[in-house]
Amino acid sequence: MVTLIARGRPVRAPWPAHARLNGKDIPLALLSKTGARLVATVPPDQPNVAPEGYGEQAKNPVFGAPYAIRDLTRGMGQRRARQGPNGRYWYTLNARCRSGRRLQGPALTNYTPGTLDSTIGIIRWFEIGGRIFAGNGRYALSGSTDGTGWTVSKDFGAGKAMTDVIVLQTNQASSTRYAQVAMGDGENLWYFDGASATTTWTQTTGANAFKARAWAKDAENVYWANDANKLNQCSLDADVLVVANHAAATDRIGTYDHPVVRMTVNGAGSLVACKQDDIYFLQADGSWRRAFEDLQFPPAATNGEALARWVNHHYVTYGNATYRLADDGGLTPVGPELLKDNGSEVNGYVSAMVGTDFFLLAGLYNPDNAKSYLLEFTGELVADEQGRAEPVWHGSITAAFSAKKILSLHTSTIGAPAGHKMAYIGFSDGTISKYVLAHTPDPADCTSEVFSTGTSEVYHSRAYFGFPSERKALLRATGEGDNLSSSNKFTLHYRPSGAGSYTAMTSAFDAGERESVDFPDASSCVFLDTKEVLSNAAATASPQVSGLAILYQTRPVPQEVLAIAIPAEDSLRKRDGTPYRLGAEELHDFVDQLAGFSGGVPFIDSDGDSHQVLVHAPQKVTAWLEGTKQPVKAIRCLLIEQEPNETRGLLQNLEAYTLEQLEAFLLAQLEEVV
């Protein structure tokens, strides 16, 4: 309200009119014979709406409503949860959510072999003679019988490099089991019997010399490609190391200018060749069918390199996209690139994959920051908030690997506790990591599980609390877990601005199965980013976080609905006796125009309070003139407030006064107006 003192008399905008609507003075009548000129009501908002049922969300909202984040098994990649918690989250670093509980990531054992090829990296794994080996460019490295040490088993020589390997034994009674190492089109094949870590390595020579770049086998034959795109085969009833046993080569696979990268046999027994330009399926008539056909990915040496079989399908990466290959040749996009709302650092393309008992393990490379991440894929597709199908990926389950790419993944019982498997990770710089795979779907239920003791972070989807544009008061957070203690705890970090830094709550959740921590006084937000930071005291355990609930209360700016009655009469006068400029017909037209206007207009009431309003539902009624209490024809309408207007600091506030009135004010008094 603006009050001026003119020669000792109070003057209030919009004096001398009753009110001012969209810059025009208007009269106001009484809404009822003994009522007021203006009736203001505030409709109930969310904090005052009674709950519709029982349960966690049924608490009287006047005390706050919980935003509960519990099950996160629907996967990563959801930056914003516009419709509330739905089982998804943004991303993790060194934490796992696949099993339903939030856990720290696995403890890695890392190796840097004394001799390694840092240019090509670890591209293949094989096992023979009870030992595990890694193909590292010019070297075959031995991890012995326990996956440690990583010494040179074979140096193929400068400028030479392994391209693929297959371990097989033919059906002949006197045959020997060999690891047969492909060296590409420029070097004859090597084979290794695994009698020891270094013996015996032999290269094919003379009449039995041949070359290979990729291997595959089925129940009857072994296949290999050489000379870029030529397919060769040999019956498993014959010795593949004898060239005379090789069958005549079939037609070449596609064109010569795009070499074969990997080969495999699908569940239907069909040979599949992954070339730099496409995936080719061998047909019964000996011809080749292309998978992508008209899609035409740009040829690349990495196309088809990430290839794995898990459950009933093969998975392969072409370009920056990962596909599931059905046995009938059908392709389904399933890669993390489909997570459209991701936008986190855990994004990029899949560079390696391997199947495990419970999930597909994948290495992800982000070319923007040159970091790699380890992800888990459950094989499921779920609907996002718009109803689009998205794959369920989790991760990263480890911290980021800087300045190197995951090139290969392998699982083996070698080096693992009894009844378990070990996951081996091969990097582009020739380094190696490994960790124990839990034998249970939930790693926390496996007594052989070893947890990371590093920082573990679970980034939640941005919360709008169901009211994207309203202010919310943050009251407290309640954490839930199965083993929370001073040794296994988690801390909530939050930020009310997407560009700001996270702030840690003053206390950790470290006692009992359920604990509450208050937000600092006056904490509020429109939307909220949160993350859980998990920590433990020993690698034998991890905090098992089952839920987080944030108690909040919406705090909308109060909005009023103003009911007024405008007398539609001619010759009405203002409070100082001067006539209103608008007559009955003009008032009708004026109100009708404002009712059809889509935007808000300014309204100044009799007390000088300013509002931005929408004119709604005008109707003809009978009202009463103030003073005489005589009934008159009037236009009753509702003024729905959008927001209160600032009543000070605006030159338009002077419009309510005549020049003669303004001359009566002191300068200091005018400054109070504007």
Q: What is the pLDDT of residues 378-435, one digit of tens each?
A: 999 988 777 888 999 999 999 999 999 999 999 999 999 999 999 999 999 999 999 9
Q: What is the mean pLDDT of the chain?
A: 89
Banded pLDDT at 542 (limits 50, 70, 90): very high
Q: Which residues have a Cβ under 8 Å from the Cβ of 347 and sit 6 or more positions away?
A: 336, 337, 339, 364, 366
- Is residue 607 within 8 A of residue 1, CB to CB? The reply is yes
Pairing of strands 80-81, 462-463: parallel
**Structure-model confidence comparison of residues 494 and 41, the more confident one:** 494
Q: What is the pLDDT of residue 207?
A: 97
Banded pLDDT at 5 (limits 50, 70, 90): very low
337 phi/psi in degrees, rounded to 5: -65, -15
Q: How far apart are alpha carbons 323 and 200 in whole angstroms?
A: 39
In the predicted structure, residue 597 carries a pLDDT above the cut 80:
yes
Kindly tell me the sign of the dihedral angle through the C-alpha atoms of 293, 295, 298, 302. negative
In the predicted structure, residue 171 carries a pLDDT above the cut 90:
yes
Contacts 24+ apart (CB under 8 A), 278-283: 278/254, 278/318, 279/304, 279/316, 279/318, 279/325, 280/253, 280/254, 281/329, 282/231, 282/250
Q: What is the pLDDT of residue 102?
A: 97
The least confident of 244-248, 441-445, 493-497, 648-652 is 648-652
In the predicted structure, residue 610 carries a pLDDT above the cut 50:
yes
In this prediction, what percent of the chain has a pLDDT beyond 90?
A: 73
In this prediction, what percent of the chain has a pLDDT beyond 70?
A: 90
468 phi/psi in degrees, rounded to 5: -60, -30
Banded pLDDT at 44 (limits 50, 70, 90): low
Token digits of residue 147:
């996956």
Banded pLDDT at 341 (limits 50, 70, 90): very high
663 phi/psi in degrees, rounded to 5: -65, -20
In the predicted structure, residue 42 carries a pLDDT above the cut 80:
no
Q: How far apart are alpha carbons 369 and 604 in whole angstroms?
A: 56
Average pLDDT score over residue span 23-29:
92
In the predicted structure, residue 232 carries a pLDDT above the cut 60:
yes
Q: What is the pTM of this model?
A: 0.82
3-state secondary structure of 262: strand
Residue 585 DSSP label = H
In the predicted structure, residue 259 carries a pLDDT above the cut 60:
yes
In the predicted structure, residue 654 carries a pLDDT above the cut 90:
no
Q: What is the pLDDT of residue 52?
A: 46
What digits encode the pLDDT tens for the residues 543-569? 999 999 999 998 777 788 999 999 999
Neighbours of 543 (CB within 10 A): 30
Token digits of residue 491:
């801390």
Average pLDDT score over residue span 308-336:
92
Q: What is the pLDDT of residue 497?
A: 85
409 phi/psi in degrees, rounded to 5: -135, 150
In the predicted structure, residue 13 carries a pLDDT above the cut 80:
no
What are the start-end ranges of the E strands in 345-487?
Answer: 349-355, 360-366, 371-383, 389-395, 401-402, 406-412, 421-427, 432-437, 456-459, 462-463, 472-481
- Is residue 119 within 8 A of residue 99, CB to CB? The reply is no
Average pLDDT score over residue span 228-246:
95
Banded pLDDT at 228 (limits 50, 70, 90): very high
Q: How far apart are alpha carbons 315 and 192 in whole angstroms?
A: 29
Average pLDDT score over residue span 195-207:
97
In the predicted structure, residue 43 carries a pLDDT above the cut 80:
no
Q: What is the pLDDT of residue 51?
A: 46
Q: Which residues have a Cβ under 8 Å from the Cβ of 384 and sit 6 or more positions away?
A: 78, 340, 341, 390
Q: What is the pLDDT of residue 15?
A: 85
Token digits of residue 650:
């605006």
In the predicted structure, residue 645 carries a pLDDT above the cut 70:
no
In the predicted structure, residue 601 carries a pLDDT above the cut 50:
yes
Q: What is the pLDDT of residue 662?
A: 59
Kindly tell me the sign of the dihedral angle through the C-alpha atoms of 257, 351, 402, 415. negative
Sheet holding 456-459, edge to edge: 91-93, 456-459, 529-536, 488-495, 503-504
Q: How far apart are alpha carbons 230 and 638 in whole angstroms?
A: 82
In the predicted structure, residue 2 carries a pLDDT above the cut 90:
no
Average pLDDT score over residue span 302-316:
95
Q: How far apart are alpha carbons 90 and 76 in whole angstroms?
A: 5
Q: How far apart are alpha carbons 93 and 80 in whole angstroms?
A: 18
Banded pLDDT at 587 (limits 50, 70, 90): very high
Q: What is the pLDDT of residue 657?
A: 53
